[in-house]
Amino acid sequence: MAGKNVLTITEENFEQEVLNSEVPVLIDFWAAWCAPCRMIAPTIDELADEFGGKVKVGKVNVDEQPELASAFKVMSIPTVALTKGNEVIMQSIGVKPKDALKQEIESKIKTA
C-alpha cells in the first residue's frame, strides 16, 4: 500500500517515472507477505513527504513486477534503491531506522 506521495512503479510506467525523472527516485522493493516490508512502509511514506520535490518515491511489488526486481538484482526484501536516470546510486537491504536511511539518501542526492 502506497502513501499519498508514493507512486506504484510498474514496467509500464518505469521509463517515464524512473528513467526520465528530473530528480532521483527512491524505489522500495516489497511484497505483501513480507513482514519487514510492512515495518519499513511507514518510513518510506514519511520520506516521500519529507523529500517532496527533491526525490521521487515509488514502490515495486516484487510479486507483480518480477522483471523489475530482477533488473535491480533484488535478492531479498525490503530493498530500497536510489536511482538517478538508469544508474543506482544507493542500495539498502533490510529495515533501517528512518534517520539512517534519510542520511544515506541526503548524502547521495547532494552529489547526484
Whether 66 is a known active-site residue: answer no
CA R_g for the chain: 12
Closest to 80 measured CA to CA, from 103, 64, 67, 96: 96
Q: Are 74 and 62 in contact (CB under 8 A)?
A: yes
To the query of whether residue 12 is one of the catalytic residues in this protein, the response is no
7, 31, 34, 89: which is the annotated catalytic residue? Answer: 34
Q: Catalytic: which of 2, 25, 37, 105?
A: 37
Residues marked active site are found at 34, 37
